[in-house]
Chain A
Amino acid sequence: MEYKDYYKILGLERSADQAEVKRAYRKLARKYHPDVSSESNAEERFKEVNEAYEVLKDPEKRAAYDHLGAGYQSGQDFRPPPDWDQGFEFHGGGYTGADSAAFSDFFESLFGGGGFRQSYGHGQRRQFNAQGENTYARIAIDLEDSYRGATRQISLKHSVLGADGRPQLRERTLKVKIPKGVTEGQQIRLAGQGEPGIGDGLSGDLYLEITFNPHSLYHAEGKTVYLDLPLAPWEIALGAKVQVPTPDGPVKLTIPANSTNGKKLRLKGRGIPAKQPGDMYVVMQTVTPPAGSDAQREAYRQFSDAFDFNPRQSMGG
């Protein structure tokens, strides 16, 4: 098991006072909150920060942790010395944090005993029944999955009550059917796939929030899908028939003569196939070819002669 330097995680000196601990925690919690942060490892960092705060905010846990000594390096292999916590009382014991199942083995080995384990034991003896909690997770799918429906695998970590009355971490893989026509932000409810109930209680439900992986061609807003379509200047000016990709397969599209850059063409019902299918919009983008050869430079010269065109007119140029 790895030693965790809780001070380093919060960016603090060992001499920091309780007010500094709280301040550092608040700042980092805002920075790494998975709903707020755009950092890629936000969730992991957020858990780490919470774990560090769980220990350092409590003067007794902090004193016990400090007692381990400053001699350890972060990440160093660690075994708690026998009776390391002798003389410390963890009032209220165990965890107070909301998401304690996510805490590390290191935390568990130091603070996992005591009150938490015992109170679980008591509950068992009294034959206490309660419905399991709902759990919430996100699942990232491709846009194409929503067009066709798909089956995706998802790994979930659960804490379950072991035979000894202690919660254990268990990993579970589910194959989830993604219904056709889902859009971002929608939820799939999987009945009975949440936390197991206690005693005779039923299991909770699992809610999966849909998000889309970024796509190289399309982007979706709700059930509307957008595609940028590159066009040559002569195609946009003279009109053209071009083949356009859609998540459903290519279609032939007529570009009207005298189109303008940035204008949208609507493909009705080609957006996400929800109960009421969305539309797809093709955004026309002019692309100019570089003049590489003499013939091409001559063509541009003729182009210029044929037009009395000043693209900087609005700048007064």
Chain B
Amino acid sequence: MERKELEQVSGVLLDEESELSLSELCRACGMPAERIIALVEEGIIEPRRGAAQWRFSGICIRRVRRVYTLERDLGVNLAGAALALELLDEIERLQAHLAQLEERHKR
């Protein structure tokens, strides 16, 4: 395995406030527009309200990618992946809460 010299790089932060157009989101997720549209129709990601054209928050990339890997790796359909995603979010929230309670209990 070759090793390459260390380079220092800085990137663009994609956060809740950043706005991506449909084509920017497609490029970011490596996916055709039809797939993104299907995700919007399933309610997995939501474009900002009020704008004439679709604008997505930078946080959508993570959701799109997770749905994609769940579909690809586990053979679930879009609705199944959407359900899994919601349950995973809930589990993540509960685990953080539980960790906090356990930490408190130790004292």
User: Footprint of B on A, CB under 8 Å?
Assistant: 26, 29-30, 33-36, 38, 46, 50, 98, 133-134, 136, 151, 153, 168-177, 179, 182-183, 185-191, 193, 204-209, 214, 219, 221, 226, 228, 230, 274-275, 285, 287
Knowing A173-B4, A219-B100, say if A186 contacts B59 (CB, 8 Å): yes
B2 CB to closest chain A CB (Å) equals 5
Knowing A98-B73, A193-B9, say if A187 contacts B1 (CB, 8 Å): no
User: Footprint of A on B, CB under 8 Å?
Assistant: 1-4, 6-17, 27-30, 58-59, 61-62, 65-66, 69-70, 72-75, 84, 88, 95-96, 99-100, 103-104, 107
20 additional contacts, CB 8 Å, given A171-B3, A187-B14?
A33-B74, A36-B70, A134-B29, A136-B65, A153-B6, A170-B2, A170-B4, A171-B2, A174-B9, A177-B11, A186-B15, A187-B61, A188-B11, A189-B28, A190-B10, A205-B28, A219-B96, A228-B103, A275-B17, A285-B104
Q: Is A134 touching B28 in the complex (CB atoms < 8 A)?
A: yes
Provide 27 A-B residue pairs closer than 8 Å at the C-beta atoms, listed in order of the A residue: A29-B74, A33-B69, A33-B73, A36-B84, A50-B73, A98-B73, A134-B27, A134-B30, A151-B8, A168-B2, A170-B3, A171-B1, A171-B2, A174-B6, A175-B9, A177-B11, A182-B15, A186-B15, A187-B13, A188-B11, A189-B12, A189-B28, A193-B11, A206-B11, A228-B100, A228-B104, A275-B17
Of the listed residues B3, B30, B75, the one surrounded by the most CB atoms of chain A closer than 10 A to its CB is B30
Q: Is A177 touching B10 in the complex (CB atoms < 8 A)?
A: yes
B30 CB to closest chain A CB (Å) equals 5
Q: How far is the CA of A28 from the CA of B91 in the complex (A)?
A: 20
